Each structure stands twice: as C-alpha cells, then as structure tokens.
Structure 1
Amino acid sequence: MDELYHQAEVATEKYNAADEKARAQRKRADGLKGQVKQAVQREKQLKASLGAAARAQYRGGGLPAEVQFVFTPRPERALTSAALAKQAQHRTTVKLMALKETREGLREQADKAATELRALQESREVMDKSREKIEDRIAAARTVQARLQKKELRRLSELRKQAEEKAHAELVGTGVLSEVGTEGSAFGRKAIAYATQQLGKPYVWGAEGPDSFDCSGLTSQAWLHAGVAIPRTSQEQWAQLKHVPLSEMRPGDLIIYYADASHVAIYAGDGKIIQAPRTGRPVYVSPAGSMEILGVVRPDA
C-alpha cells in the first residue's frame, strides 16, 4: 500500500509540473494571439491607406511631376504639386515597407503561437497520463486496504506509527536536531501559521487549497501567503531553492523526502513537520524524521 501511494505521489508531482507548465504556455499563447490580432488589424489599416493613396493617384491621372510642369499654365503650382507628389510617394514607400514588416511579424507570431499550442497539447497529454497513473495506483491501494479486516487495519496503523517513531528516533540519535535553529524568519513564521491553519483538511492530489492540498500544494501556498512565491512541485522546490545543511535547519524551511524528491513538508520546529501526506490522510503534524530525508531547502534565503 505504501509503495502504491508513493507511486501515486510521484505521478502527482509530475502532473503538477505539467499543469504549471501548461498554465505558462497558455498565458504565452494567449499573449501571442493578442499580438497576432493587433498585427492583422495593422495590416488592414495599411492596406486601406495604400488603397486610398492608389485611388488618389488614379484620380490625378498618375502623370509624372515633370510632365505636369510642362503642361500646366501655372509652373509655380506644378512645383508645389511635384513636392507634394514626392512626399506622397515617400509616404507610400514607408507604408509599403511597414506592410512588409507587419506581414513578416505576423507570420513569425503566428508560428510562435502554433508552437506554444503544440507544447500546451503535449503538456496536457503528460497530465492525462499522470492522472491515469495516479487514479490507478490509488485504486489499487484502496483495493488492498478493502481486503483487510478491522483488526488488520488497526495493526497496520500501529506498525506504521512504530516505523515512523523508529525512523525519527534514528534521526534524533544523530544529535543533529539539537543543533537546528529554533527561531524562524518573519516569512517562515507566517508560512508555519498558514500551514497550521490547514490542519485536518483532506489530501487531494493536484490540490493547492483552500479546502484541500497535496504535499507541495501545501508548502507552496504556505510560502505564497507568507509573501514568497516558490515553485509548485517538490522536485522544483528541491532543484531551485537554496539547500541548507540539516544541522542549520530552522522553522519554516522545507524538508524534501525520498531520493526522487517526491514529497515535501514544512518544518514547524521542535522536531516536527506539517505535511499533507497522501490520499485518505489529512494535513497533520508528524515527526520530521519519519521518512527518508533527502535534504532541506530555504525559500527565503
């Protein structure tokens, strides 16, 4: 059951990463669509302006300035007309160049938008596959659990608690927890306060509040409400945030668990963490060493 739930959590963080990527891609795609719309409108305006210039030239007979000078009874007007014609020709040339640049920009923006939409589709496919794996693993774990008798479930709960206490006792035995800081930063205290308010709320994969959370949804929202935006997933929190030695950990820091960085919790002090564990278990306080620790990161370093 634990292995199945762990696999579901790995898939959940993959889903979260794809979801975060899809949001950014959708935002970029929408921005590009807006730029394409503006370029299309600009192209229409230039075409209309060039059409008006062409009609004006046609009404004027389209005669070159030197010919108009020969046939006009008022040469001084012909010179003025020639100057105006030259200005008009220059404006037309400028508009033609602008039209060419607008069309080239339009093609480039349309290509970028198409690329972003394809990438968005790929992210959604990853999300769909991860969703299927999550639901499959959770269903399998629940099937195993459904076969257990109440007596076996109580025994399972006792065994889990014993395993957590034993793992934490090993961490305490190293003496490292006696070295950690007891005072968090102002941001860290706010993050802990937010996480504390969520105690008892259900775990739901992919959720980031306000009524339910998954592991990284809780930690990312706790720090966001403290005023610090951090990556959405446990893997990206491990990859992007500053690593600190376990002995230098302080309240508010995030503890990353397992070799694949698939789980994260917020250190609340006194050897305790606040975590959203897995399906079927609410946000709760547990010993910091109850799982395999990969390392510690500090969001407000």
Structure 2
Amino acid sequence: MRRDNHYSDLLAFIAVARERSFTRAAAQLGVSQSALSHTIRGLEGRLGFRLLTRTTRSVSPTAAGEHLLKNVAPRFDEIEAELAAVAEVREKPAGTVRITATDYATRTILWPRLANVLRDYPEVRVEIVTDYGLADIVADRYDIGVRHGDQVAKDMIAVRIAPDMQMAIVGSPGYLAQRTLPKTPRDLTAHNCINLRLPTHGGFYPWELKRGSRQTVVRVDGQLAFNGTYQMLDAALSGYGLAYVPADLVESDVAAGRLRWVLKDWCPTFPGLHAYYASRSESSRALAIVIEAIRYRDERPRRSRHR
C-alpha cells in the first residue's frame, strides 16, 4: 500500500466520519464534495474494505471505519496539538483562561499559586467564577473546571491540584456548651446546623459521613444557610451552630480553642481536587501556564490515575 497520500486521505476520512456528512466535511477541508468523495473511494480501494456507509440521507462509519476513527483520530489530534504548541513557542503567551471553582478551591489553591506567576505573564488573563453548581465547562465555555477526582468525567483531562481532603464538623465551645455533644450522625438532627445551598438542585448539600465501612448521609437543618464555605465557617465561629467544612480550614481555629471538632471518626476523606479541561487539541500556552502553576506537587508516589 502506497504511503504518499496517507496523511491527507486519513484526515479526509476523519472529517467525514466526525461530521457524518460529505458536504460539511468538504466545507471544513476547503475542497469540493466530489473531490472528497474521490479521495475516500481511493483510500477504501487501497485498504481493501469500506470505511463509510453512504445513503442518500446520511453517512456513517462501518465497523472498520469506527475502529479506525477511534484509534487513529486521537493520534492525529495529538500531532495537531504538538504542531500548534511548536508554532506558539515563538509567540508571547496571551489570552483569557476562564475557570469555574468553589470559593474554597479559589482561596486556598488557585489564587495563592496563580499570584506567584501571573506577574511574569501580563498578557495572560484569568477569570475565576465561584460556583458550587458543577457547571458543564464545555456548554458554559469555561477552559478549566475544578472538582474532586471522583467527579471528573472520564473524557476529560484531569490534573491533580490538591491532596485528598478530609472534612470536619465543628462548632464553637460556647455553642456546644449549651447542647449535648453528638455521638452518632443521627444526633445531628437535634443540632442547629449551618447549611450549604446548592444551585444545581435548589436544595442543601447533605452531610456525607463515613466510619470504616459504614456510610450515611444526613440532611441537617438549622437557622442559617449560605452558598459559600467561608460564610459557614464565620457563622460557626460566631456560635450559630455546627458547620461541615474542609478540615484544613479549621485546623488553626481548633488548635486555638475557637472551634471544637465533633464526630471526628465519622468525618470522611474525599479524593483530592483536580483541574480538568476538555481536550489537549484545544490547549493554548496560556492554559498550559495556568495548569502548570496550579498543579499539585508532592514528593510521595501518586496513586491517582489522572495526570
């Protein structure tokens, strides 16, 4: 089989297979529909089997075509991405990187790390939108989303930005002095608990608890609800009830006696936060700079399969 036209012919096939249309693929490639049809027939002839099933109304890959698309197209995407990256080497990093993240991730991870590097790249703009709604970054046109490792879709590229995160249930000594300390998750229903409002479902975030192999979800109630972690923490420090927040946020307050940690043996540890984005082929130098800045660096061996 001749190798002279492999690259362009395979690109033509990938375009048709992805678009499911000779017309749209021809417009994308800047060739005539008849020339594109001739290219595909020539490729099929050299291969000795059909790649596309054509009808008067539709075009779809055959089983062989689907196999080729699945295994070859990603390699072409990687080649295109690397060529684009090489072309950008001589260019000054520029552009806007939009990120959706929680206030906790923004304040404890994203901003402290980005603040150390953005002065070196004045043409790189970063927009961070605080959101607990688990936005669809493709539909909502974000470049990066931040979620726990087990919440990232498998078709996304994920980069760990934090170690695994333990949660804590805390209250002020003044508040707890007026109540019986909770000994089981069920006891939380008798307490004034500070809720986190979730925009996606219009409800409150249920407290996920775990001890050994036992897991439970408690829907708590109380006088106050917020849509941010730091307001919940402030309310707990003011003696308004129990808050369920990341443990690293309250370590100093617990050590100083401003807060007490309750039900500690029931507080779970979640997979660490990851920054994720849709495709290597869409990456830019600006995006690469931001990802590299917020990447988690740990000398210990990593167990996560994410990059």
For the aligned pair, the TM-score class normalised by the smaller chain equals: under 0.3
- Structure with a larger share of its residues in helix: 1
Q: Which has the larger radius of gyration?
A: 1
Between structures 1 and 2, the one with greater strand share: 2
> What TM-score, normalized by structure 2, do the two folds share?
0.20
TM-score with structure 1 length normalisation? Answer: 0.20
